[in-house]
Amino acid sequence: MYDVRWDRVADIVVLGCGAAGIAAAIAGQASGANVVVLEKMNERHAGGNTRLSGGIWFDNRNPERAAVYLESLCGDFSLPPQVVRAWAEETALNSEWLQSLGANIAHYGDYIPEYPELAGSDCYRGYLGIDGKIGDELLYRALMRAIQDRNIEVIYESPAIQLITEPSSGRVIGVEAKKDGKPYRVGARRGVVIATGGFEANKQMVRDYLGLANPPLWGSPASEGDGIRMAMQVGADLWHMSNMMAIDGVDAPELGAGFATLGLVGAKSFIFVAPDGSRFIDENVDLRHGHVLTHGRYQLFPRERSFVIFDEQARLAGPVVPGPGELPVGWNMLMEKYVWSEDNLAEIERGWIVASDTLSGLAGKLGLHPEGLEKSVALYNRYCDAGLDEQFNREPTTLVPLRSAPYYGFVSEPILAWSNGGPRRDANARVLGVSGQVIEGLFAAGNVSSTYSWCKDGGFHIADALAFGRIAGRTAAGNEPISV
Ligand SMILES: Cc1cc2nc3c(=O)[nH]c(=O)nc-3n(C[C@H](O)[C@H](O)[C@H](O)COP(=O)(O)OP(=O)(O)OC[C@H]3O[C@@H](n4cnc5c(N)ncnc54)[C@H](O)[C@@H]3O)c2cc1C
């Protein structure tokens, strides 16, 4: 018995109610433990990026080949083989597990691997989703139904603040949260699972670890790195802290997040430029969930502020962001219910996109070098006329000149979709300390500590959160209980 006044005690305390936390809670209970979930947000805004995501996971048909694929994707940033094996085997069980919860599962679209050139990519058989659909909170709702069916209690508006440890051993024995403005202490007989999501909403951590100054979010403002900081306080080592996924997009400050533009969807007469007005990349380069293959190497992209410039023809081609019919994801669309205008005029009116009759006027409004921009557009237009982009080899069918005024542009900071790093953990989801030792009683799963050290394919994050969430719940349930 420890000298702490607990408000409540459970076998397992799960922090965060996204895919990883829910999977941990359900698996922990199925393994015989009594589980409680503490969630930072209110019921309407809970669920983190899981709720706002596409909610689709990759179909891992062959765990052996999946292990090879993950190793190839990690490149120089290899993972412990046991972690690779656990990931490969457990992600292959996601669909069966979701079906066991009563979810109806089908393939979404007909997708091939994003890295077909890498060994092991033949394991990848496209995406699976609830009812074969993307977004619209479908996965989150299916998971929450399973939580309710099992009478697992989720205590909302109760952010975990710090872990409580047994002083002599350092074992994690509970957590202090804040509930109704007061400390709320929950003892954990078997363990605490941190599943609080990433740190992309924590401006200081984003600067320190990702080197981005002020990127708008695509997902949940709850991803403030709380779990990472709590784990650091009890001596956790960190991994994958500089890895992330960003995407070109436009900020919508009044709504609290940004919109991904995905290369302006249907439009073609657009370019990306740097602050000096120069083009710097093939604007239609394949976006591989945070990385691109350029100059023969995989690089994080986009990872710096750039400017998206387009003309009247592009404005008239349709909304520059994917609509709810195509990609019903993200904070602005699902929480704020913002519907982007068909002709982009409402967003120009709001100042999210700026307009000018001349390129130099546009450059002035965006803080770009005016002559640099004019020169780049003139050169790009010449490439369009010739049908050959001599600078970046952009696909000829996408070479449409920017000639119809007015001109438009926005700053793409870029949009930060997610961070990948957090407390280092082993194949059993046990958090490891700075000397490599297991921190007893502490587990991590999902984006608070994702498996991904470098490149990753589509649907890998939900797969990772579900897989290591289950592993964390099972391992914690298997811990010898202590009296707290
Ligand atoms: C727009 C968008 C689309 C995406 N689409 C896909 C996709 O289709 N497929 C895919 O594989 N990946 C996708 N991803 C990534 C994927 O959504 C995430 O990696 C995954 O959902 C992470 O799950 P998680 O449980 O680790 O974290 P989250 O889902 O973010 O959940 C974390 C939870 O912890 C809570 N929390 C935070 N701090 C505390 C605290 N101190 N105390 C208690 N609770 C706390 C949060 O409120 C939240 O409920 C997408 C991401 C975005 C932003």
- Identify the structural domains of the chain with CATH numbers, from first to last: 8-244+419-478 (3.50.50.60), 249-413 (3.90.700.10)
| Confidence tier at 4 by pLDDT (50, 70, 90) | confident
Q: How far apart are CA 45 and CA 60, in angstroms?
A: 31
pLDDT of residue 3: 78
22, 184, 196, best to mutate for ligand 1 pocket (most atoms within 8 Å of CB): 196
pLDDT for the residue numbered 266 = 73
The answer, yes or no, to whether any atom of ligand 1 lies below 6 A from the CB of 200, is no
Residue nearest to atom 8 of ligand 1 (CA): 54
Q: Is the CB of 277 under 6 A from ligand 1?
A: no
Question: Do the Cβ atoms of 175 and 4 come closer than 8 Å?
Answer: no
Q: Whose CA is nearest to atom 14 of ligand 1?
A: 53
Helix axis angle, 63-74 to 81-91, nearest 10°: 130
Question: What is the distance between the alpha carbons of residues 300 and 281, in angstroms, rounded to a whole number?
Answer: 13
Strands 438-444 and 430-432, sheet pairing:
antiparallel
Question: Which atom of ligand 1 lies closest to the CA of 57?
Answer: 11
Buried b (16+ CB within 10 A) or exposed e, 192-229: bbbbbbbbbbbeebbeebbebeebbbbbbbbbbbbbbb
Task: Give which of 414, 129, 186 is closest to 300, Cα–Cα.
Answer: 414
86 lines ligand 1 (CB under 6 A): no
**Token output for 207:** 């600067």
Distance, first Cα to last Cα, the chain: 5
Arithmetic mean of pLDDT, 70-98: 98
Helix segments in 170-252, DSSP class H? 203-205, 226-233
Task: Report whether pLDDT(2) > 80.
Answer: no
Check: CB of residue 288 under 8 Å from CB of residue 114.
yes
Q: Is the CB of 413 under 6 A from ligand 1?
A: no
**Ligand 1 atom 10: the closest Cα is on which residue?**
459
* Closest C-alpha among 399, 405, 442 to residue 423: 442
On the question of pLDDT at 356 being above 80, the answer is yes
Residue nearest to atom 40 of ligand 1 (CA): 159
Residue 79's pLDDT is: 98
| Cross-strand partners of 423 | 238
In ligand 1, which atom is closest to the CA atom of 38? 43
Query: Are residues 442 and 448 in contact, defined by beta-carbon separation less than 8 angstroms?
Result: no
Helix axes 138-149, 19-30, angle to 10 degrees: 30
What does the CA dihedral 99, 103, 104, 106 come to, rounded to 10 degrees? -70
Nearest to 242 by CA among 86, 464, 18, 450: 450
pLDDT at 347: 97
Please tell me if the CB atom of residue 331 comes closer than 6 angstroms to any atom of ligand 1.
Answer: no
Distance 144 CA to ligand 1 centre (A): 14
Burial class (CB in 10 A: 0-12, 13-18, 19+), 245: buried
DSSP of 375-398: HHHHHHHHHHHHT--TTT---GGG
Query: Looking at residue 1, what is its pLDDT?
Result: 58
**Residue whose CA is at the smallest distance from ligand 1 atom 53:** 219
Best probe residue, ligand 1, of 17, 49, 56, 205 (max atoms within 8 Å of C-beta): 49
- Which atom from ligand 1 is nearest to the alpha carbon of 217? 53
For β-strands 297-300 and 291-294, DSSP reports them as antiparallel
pLDDT for res 267: 78
Q: Is the dihedral of CA 200, 203, 204, 210 positive or negative?
A: positive
* Residue owning the nearest CA to atom 48 of ligand 1: 48
pLDDT tens digits, one per residue of 380-424? 999 999 999 999 999 999 999 999 999 999 999 999 999 999 999
Ligand 1 centroid, distance to 268 Cα (angstroms): 32
CA neighbor of 306 nearest in space, from 244, 376, 379, 397: 376
The rounded Å distance from CA 45 to ligand 1 centre is: 12
Of the ranges 190-199, 237-246, 257-266, 366-375, which one carries the lowest mean pLDDT score? 257-266
Which of these, 272, 283, 282, lies nearest to 307 by C-alpha position?
272
Name the more confident of 29 and 324.
29
For residues 399 and 416, what is the distance between their CA atoms, to the nearest angstrom? 28
The average pLDDT across 337-364 equals 96
Q: Is 47 left (phi over 0), alpha (psi -120 to 50) or beta?
A: left
Mutation test of ligand 1: which of 218, 462, 470 has the most ligand atoms closer than 8 Å to its C-beta? Answer: 462
291 within ligand 1 shell (Cβ under 6 A) = no
Of ligand 1's listed atoms, the one at least distance from the Cα of 161 is 41
195 CB within 6 A, ligand 1: yes
pLDDT at 61: 92
Rounded Cα distance between 147 and 9, Å, is 19
Kindly report which listed range (31-40, 322-331, 444-453) carries the lowest average pLDDT score: 322-331
- Torsions phi, psi for 449 (to 5 deg): -160, 60
Question: Mind listing the pLDDT tens digit for each residue in 143-169?
Answer: 999 999 999 999 999 999 999 999 999
Query: Would the CB of 220 count as within 6 Å of ligand 1?
Result: yes
Do residues 415 and 258 make contact, with C-beta atoms less than 8 angstroms apart? yes
C-alpha to C-alpha distance for 284 and 305, rounded to whole angstroms? 17
28 lines ligand 1 (CB under 6 A): no
